[in-house]
Copies of this chain bind each other. A is one copy, B any other.
Amino acid sequence: MNEAENTLSIVALGGVNEVGKNMYAVQYADDIVVIDCGSKFPDESLLGIDLIIPDITYLQENKEKIRALVVTHGHEDHIGAIPYILKQLKMPIYATRLTLGLIEVKLKEHGLLRETQLITIDSDSSLELGMTRLTFFKTNHSIPDCLGIAFHTPEGTVVHTGDFKFDLTPVNDQYPDIHKMANLGKNGVLALLSESTNAERPGFTPSERFVGEHIEEAFNKAHGKVFISTFASNVHRVQQVVDAAIKTNRKLALLGRSMVNVVSVALELGYLTIPDGMLIDANEVNQMAPERVAILCTGSQGEPMAALSRLSSSKYRQVEIVPGDTVILSSSPIPGNERNVARIIDNLFLLGAKVIYGSGSVTGMHVSGHASQEELKLMLTLMKPKYFIPVHGEYRMLHQHRLLAESVGVEQENIFIVNNGDVVDIHNAVARQTRKIPSGNIFVDGLGIGDVGNIVLRDRKQLSEEGMLIIVIHLSKTEGKIVSGPDTISRGFVHARHSEELLHDVNQLVTTTVHNLEGTKVNQWKVIKKSVKESVGKFLYTETKRRPMIVPIIIEV
């Protein structure tokens, strides 16, 4: 495979045609560099699943070629799968200080910290990994310390943007490396992978500073306690809450495990500045004048176990929301979370709070961390890529991003909308998308990784919607005759009005069904089970229009 040796391959392992679970790989000759290792939350159809992570069969099959996992930033959709993947495949991890700090928290929880090689990089780093050299550029996003990555290979340069926006007035002076980006474009970018989260959104995403002004104003106006809820990882938002509290002479309490965790990592690493004596314990809130306190909490997405949800239902032991308090939702509900967030707002109003909620652009309390259409065009214009692969997004977002790329001059035939598992091979400056590698969703359920499959999910769905009926039949070993019973046990299925009558009829039917099959051989219990399932299923559907799972159990006596 002489040719393969100098082919540049871009592999999508996760994150296209979906939001979350980001994982890509860039391979040149025998060197594979993995980008990100994210998880995704299941939707309600995936009953009982805790987390979804990428299928890494391809990486396992090529593990001797893997030089590094490079992580662009510390959000769950980029780092959430790391502990699960590391259990299957060891890789050294390269990331910035804050990103590594957040990864360390995870590795500690999974007892993997000691055995994992962690290498701190920054935007000035340059890594030689086999024949590929990596350089980096700073981007803005809703978490500090984000990187874009440039892969310099003999075939040409590939750029992966990570998540970004162009915040030209950023908090903490974390400016995007726009000159570096321009320089990459000037020197020639063979292929660009750019994120598509906000590709449907016209215009330019407002600066994070826009939010700071509104938080301060709300803190000023508030008479009682102020509660503000946001993503813990949005360290710049947290800093602005701290600043508003300082200016309005309020102490700050932190509620929620992830808020406490992230703030402590960010403080320790110097990404947050909080004056001594500013932070108070949740226990101290009640001892202070309400107008001297602000409370920063988790749960802005309506998560039922998070601080805001517990506060809204008066279940937070140390702190109470009372009439006159103000609650600010500094966030936008992620699609699917709307109902949970709405429930919380209802409850907050019931408690008599003033609630500031709704679209961030109206309340001024939230801005997105992702580039809108004009910024995506700016990135494309800076990079002037020959080939373009929109990543991070569902199909309509990738599609809109393609239209944006065309509008700034990328050739239509040079744009690849790929699926997870697709590979774009570039050889002698010609790109082709022909190969596929294994890919997919691995379900994490409890301690099990990948052991819940479609049959289990199908069973769970039926059980959840229709319940089940266990039918125990005692058959004589020799004659196949019913000796006693049958006995029926139902769970999640009843038909209250006539349930006794109904189950009596079921028993009758089972007896008749088995009787008709009398003489069936012992090794053909399967036939009896199938007949019982079918006849009882049909009967119950006619009577109740429900299809409980029917589990016949034959006991040989």
A residues engaging B (CB < 8 A)? Answer: 17, 43-44, 47-48, 200, 335-336, 338-339, 342, 345-347, 349-350, 355, 358, 394-396, 399, 445-448, 450-453, 456-457, 459-461, 463-468, 470, 472, 474, 487, 489, 491-497, 499, 543-546, 549, 551, 553, 555, 557
Contact = CB atoms under 8 A, between A and B. Distances in A.
Contacts of A553: 470, 472, 487, 489, 553
User: How many of these chains are in the complex?
Assistant: 2
Contacts of A543: 447
A333 to B, nearest CB: 9
Given A395-B349, A496-B453, A549-B491, A464 B467 contact: no
A192 to B, nearest CB: 21
A497 B557 CA distance: 33
B336 A338 contact: yes
Which 7 A-B pairs rank lowest in CB-CB distance, beginning with the nearest? A464-B464, A446-B545, A48-B465, A463-B463, A451-B496, A346-B395, A459-B492
Contacts of A452: 494
A297 to B, nearest CB: 19
A466 B453 CA distance: 13
A474 B545 contact: no
A546 B48 CA distance: 9
A44 B43 CA distance: 11
Contacts of A496: 448, 450-451, 453
Specify which of A342, A347, A460, A474 lies most central, judged by the most chain B CB atoms within 10 Å of its CB. Answer: A460
Given A339-B43, A489-B551, A496-B451, A445 B349 contact: no
B546 A446 contact: yes
A41 to B, nearest CB: 12
Nearest to A342: B394
A445 B546 contact: yes
B465 A495 contact: no
Given A44-B44, A342-B335, A463-B467, A495 B358 contact: no
B47 A545 contact: no
Contacts of A395: 346-347, 349-350
A67 B499 CA distance: 35
Contacts of A551: 470, 489, 491
Contacts of A358: 200
